[in-house]
Amino acid sequence: MQRPVGRQTNEQGAPRGRRLSDHLPPALRDGEIIVLFQPQVAMASGQIVGTEALVRWRRPGKEEVGAERLFAAAKRAELIAAVSDEIHDVALARAAAWPVALRHLQLSINVTARDLARPDFATVLMARMAQHDFAASRLTIEITEHDLIADFATASAVLEVLRDHGCRIALDDFGTGYSSLSYLKELPVDVIKLDARLSQDIEGSERGQVIVKGIIVIARALGLTVVVEGVETTRQRDLLAEAGADIYQGYLCAPPLTSEALEALIAER
């Protein structure tokens, strides 16, 4: 997950998200919030086995807005729930409509702290899956340590409900926070996603390799699946495979794609 550098401003010197928030209601109405899919590839077979739904805001005649700026604007406009619901609905609808040959793919969606704080979130998400005839076993819920800190007890309870109904739970950006290991003990986690910075570390230093291998050893002992983000080179992929990672995601395979482009990519492989 890419981090912003410095403080971005608009042409008048105000934080960029401040003006964006005014445009969110019509953007939601007009379908400007789009969902792309980045493939996830099994190390052992080289086959695409899953995909992460990633959001972009495509404003006509304007620069594309990424997830961080979009959610900053949504927070100011008090529209985070509406934006999250739109993203999850579009992702599930697209994945449910994939041809039979693609319905083995695991779909990962990102869930925010605000989502986890909503008492009805699990119920709403399960109803949306039922509406699209999408099996819970095909859905992975991705959460970050930052999103858990806000209200750990409530978040944990919501995740337990979703997991009991068949969803998989992934701890995203693993290895970047202070409490990552403790969450493995306290949360119903099935998957850890190693942060992209660890992909670079494993290629750049022996110490980085030792850290990544150590994390994977712990995950293996706990029966967790290990996904690695931000893989850009064959050397990174090979070192991660040697260390025991299960799945990789990154530009080595493909950037985030439209649903149609993802279908075409899988047909070509």
What is the structure's pLDDT at 178? 63
The per-residue pLDDT of the chain, averaged, comes to: 89
**Distance of CA 37 to CAs 76, 254, 259, Å?**
27, 10, 7
What is the structure's pLDDT at 219? 94
Separation between Cα atoms, residue 173 and residue 194, nearest integer Å: 6
According to CATH, the topology of domain 38-53+80-268 is: TIM Barrel (3.20.20)
Separation between Cα atoms, residue 85 and residue 128, nearest integer Å: 9
Alpha helices in 132-251 (DSSP H): 145-149, 152-164, 180-186, 196-204, 206-221, 234-243
CA Rg, the chain, in Å?
18
Separation between Cα atoms, residue 76 and residue 22, nearest integer Å: 9
Q: Residues 75-90, buried b or exposed e (16+ Cβ, 10 A)?
A: ebbebbbebbbbbbbb
What is the structure's pLDDT at 6? 35
Q: Tell me the pLDDT tens digit for each residue of 11-41.
A: 333 444 447 888 999 999 999 999 999 999 9
φ, ψ of residue 73 in degrees (nearest 5) = -65, -40
Going from N- to C-terminal start, the domains of the chain cover 38-53+80-268
Q: Which residues pair with 15 in a beta bridge?
A: 9
What is the structure's pLDDT at 9? 41
Q: Which residues of the chain carry a pLDDT beneath 70?
A: 1-18, 177-179
pTM of the model: 0.89
What is the structure's pLDDT at 3? 39
